[in-house]
Amino acid sequence: MGSSTPPTSRDVARLAGVSQTTVSYALTGKGAVSPSTRRRVLQVAESIGYRPNLAARSMRTRRSGRLAVITGVAIDNQPSMVTGASEVANAAGFIMETHSVDGSIADRTDRTLELASGGQYEGILTFVPVLPAALSTDRSAVPVIAATAYDEDMHSTGELADASLLDTFVSTLAEAGHRRFVHVAGPDQYASARARRETYLAAVDRHGVESLGVLGGDWPPETGRRAVLALPDDAPPVAVIAANDNLALGVLRGAAERGWSVPGDLVLTGWDNADFGEYTMPSLTTMAVDFREGGRRAMRLLIATLRDEEPPVSTTPLQRIVWRESTGSIAPAS
Amino acid sequence: MGSSTPPTSRDVARLAGVSQTTVSYALTGKGAVSPSTRRRVLQVAESIGYRPNLAARSMRTRRSGRLAVITGVAIDNQPSMVTGASEVANAAGFIMETHSVDGSIADRTDRTLELASGGQYEGILTFVPVLPAALSTDRSAVPVIAATAYDEDMHSTGELADASLLDTFVSTLAEAGHRRFVHVAGPDQYASARARRETYLAAVDRHGVESLGVLGGDWPPETGRRAVLALPDDAPPVAVIAANDNLALGVLRGAAERGWSVPGDLVLTGWDNADFGEYTMPSLTTMAVDFREGGRRAMRLLIATLRDEEPPVSTTPLQRIVWRESTGSIAPAS
DNA sequence: CTGAAAGCGCTTACAG
DNA sequence: CTGAAAGCGCTTACAG
């Protein structure tokens, strides 16, 4: 009990009175086996609960049919990316496994290399930043693709971190008559946060509106709340461009604490289309980012790479503005 | 390029002018190797980028040092459970890998069995419901433990789905003078939703307050909003016990749409301590559930099982009520 | 301190 | 249609 070792294909062979070869053929459906033999083998295998040892199989075939996706605990919106990647992997006949890694970027790089050369996967897709060393395809036989939504360096698919539509927030609000803006930024280590901040600065400049500055510097709601509390009394009417919905939520709370109405004294945009944004009072104008499709594309790229095919090009945008109550009634530029 | 196969321990041996045995000893630090030989082997291994084939190693040693955690896309709050499990696994010297599975319960059970008998893991911890067949320890050599926060059947660790503290919501509000209650329930398929509903019904009964009924039946905020819109005009003052924070968020929105103030006309409790709950207007009274500690305990149980040790007993509660603005000012029973 | 040999559980030419 | 044999890349008694 417990210490007994699981049955092997040799056990099945002995019990069925055939060779290991025949068992293998019957199970994988590869060689030619007579129907009756095949039936008997299958029956025996089933009865003793035989399951092939995957490590042995993949060591022999050098094909595991498995792809690894590397994620980390702290990356927002990844669940949808993983789901999208999984859809594509399964459709292509692969089993996809998710490995969650944490620690420093060096640790993550090590682990990625380990997985790449461990002989168990035919390809690796990482959603967390790793050092370029992990991506070199010369030494590790299997391809490693990085699709990080939220950081730069390496071969990133990048589209997910694109901030160019933030310009549309500013221009549309400017056209609607808003003259004063503030940006509540995310942390500087994030490429997406930096991109949004820079796009904001360029936009206020380009559209000739006043900027009261860039506040914030972190993702949690409390940062947004503090940013509003730090605004001068005569700030309203002001348009607040928050780097994400969490921050926007804090802004909403801070505005209420100061007695400022939204969208009266203050209009507000977020980013990410978080579930709660449709139900806050007022509901949040935001950027819907299609992480799932981002995951699909990343996986298509990996599969194309390992098959030595040309990667498919996708042109449809991954982002879309959702106008809601927090920006008042405006006629969005089509 | 690309088609070249990764270096093996035999390659290292040849290049270092030693036997494969010596390479193995030098790398694993097991046998006795002279310092100079050891240094040379390590140097060669490093220079050609050698990494042991894990499949081969674990096939030979029958010890992989790896544990698998099975999760699914749709399970709320799992990230923290996974984090907790990972902490304990790493502290015990194991590498933990997360496998995300979806499909029917039969599919998930199959996949679990496959992992259990695949020879790559020393133990399996599943956070998604599987059939009892997957848990039988007689056939698969490795232990499989189910720690499902949100469904019943099998050896569940259960504490996470415990709803008994909901009685405290009701009794405390009753003591504060609230006489009329409503429950906005989650979907019936969830053990946690059922437990909360039943605890609610028992509580209103026990504390002699009126119940306007049980509404809802799903998790998204919209369900909570609809529930409030369905209430009769003369419902207030009423205490709404929502099955989770999403639902409570919808309730808040619905109340605003009807012109009902919170906590004036309506008081409200949620569940889960979602991030946004501290920043809604008003902030949400809720149940903080320590999923991370739940994950830790589940992993401790798995490790104790595979080591044939007595599982550690934990007595500290995993749940704690957080009183906030949505219930007005009350003196919580200590 | 070092090496030759066996074997973990599979699959796959090859021969019959 | 079926089987004996080799080998995937490791580790580990065993002998020297």
Cross-strand pairs, A67: A96, A123
Antiparallel, parallel or unpaired: β B180-185 and B238-242: parallel
d(CA B299, CA B44): 39
Fold of A9-52: 434 Repressor (Amino-terminal Domain) (1.10.260)
For residue range B104-114, list pLDDT tens digits in order: 788 888 888 88
B136 vs A252, residue with greater confidence: A252
Q: A124 CA to C7 C1', in Å?
A: 31
**pTM (global) more than 0.85:** no
- Contacting residues for A38 by C-beta, under 8 A, at least 6 apart: A26
The CB-side HSE value for A318 (13 A sphere, CA atoms) comes to 24
Nucleic strand C within 7 A of Cβ A9: yes
What separation in angstroms does the CA of B234 have from each of B222, B265, B326?
22, 10, 20
- Closest residue, CA to C1' of D12: B21
| Sheet strand arrangement including B238-242 | B210-216, B180-185, B238-242, B266-269
For residue range B54-105, list pLDDT tens digits in order: 888 888 887 878 888 888 765 555 678 888 998 898 788 887 887 777 777 8
Chain B residue nearest residue A140, CA to CA:
B6
- Contacting residues for B249 by C-beta, under 8 A, at least 6 apart: A276, A279, A280, B221, B224, B270, B276, B277, B280, B284
| Predicted local confidence at residue A74, as pLDDT | 55
DSSP string, B264-275: TTEEEE-SS--G
For B209-217, what is the mean pLDDT? 97
| Predicted local confidence at residue B100, as pLDDT | 76
- Closest residue, CA to C1' of D8: A60
A99 and B98 in contact by Cβ < 8 A? Answer: yes
Determine the nucleotide nearest to A24 by Cα–C1' distance. C11
d(CA B220, CA B106): 26
Per CATH, the homologous superfamily of domain A64-154+291-318 is Response regulator (3.40.50.2300)
For B222-244, what is the mean pLDDT? 97
| Predicted local confidence at residue B74, as pLDDT | 55
Distance in Å, alpha carbon of A208 to nearest chain B alpha carbon: 33
Distance in Å, alpha carbon of B208 to nearest chain A alpha carbon: 33
- Closest residue, CA to C1' of C7: B60
**Domain at A159-288, CATH from 3.40.50.2300, 3.40.640.10, 1.10.3720.10, 3.30.70.20:** 3.40.50.2300
Determine the nucleotide nearest to A57 by Cα–C1' distance. C10
Q: Residue A294 burial by CB count (10 A; 0-12/13-18/19+): exposed, middle or buried?
A: buried
pLDDT by residue, tens only, chain A of 334 residues: 344 678 899 999 999 999 999 999 998 888 788 989 999 999 999 888 888 888 888 888 878 788 888 887 655 556 788 889 988 987 888 878 877 777 778 888 888 888 888 777 889 999 887 887 777 655 556 889 887 654 444 334 456 667 889 999 999 999 999 999 999 999 987 778 888 999 999 999 999 999 999 999 999 999 999 999 999 999 999 999 999 999 999 999 999 999 999 999 999 999 999 999 999 999 999 999 888 898 999 999 999 888 888 888 887 888 999 999 999 987 555 4
| Predicted local confidence at residue B249, as pLDDT | 97
Residue of A79, A137, A278 lying closest to B73 (CB–CB):
A79
Chain B residue nearest residue A83, CA to CA:
B73
B279 and A249 in contact by Cβ < 8 A? Answer: yes
Structure tokens at B313: 């007993």
d(CA A241, CA A316): 25
- Asked whether the domain spanning A159-288 has the same topology as the one spanning A64-154+291-318, the reply is yes
Q: How many Cβ atoms sit within 10 Å of the Cβ of residue B225?
A: 23
Distance in Å, alpha carbon of A63 to nearest chain B alpha carbon: 12
Chain B residue nearest residue A254, CA to CA:
B279
Q: Is the pLDDT assigned to residue B3 strictly greater than 60?
A: no
How distant is the alpha carbon of residue B100 from its chain centre? 13
Q: B60 CA to C5 C1', in Å?
A: 15
The closest alpha carbon to A242, from A299, A279, A284, A209, belongs to A284
Residue of B140, B141, B256 lying closest to A281 (CB–CB):
B256
Domain boundaries, chain B: 9-52, 64-154+291-318, 159-288
A221 and B99 in contact by Cβ < 8 A? Answer: no
Distance in Å, alpha carbon of B49 to nearest chain A alpha carbon: 7
> Average per-residue pLDDT in chain B?
86
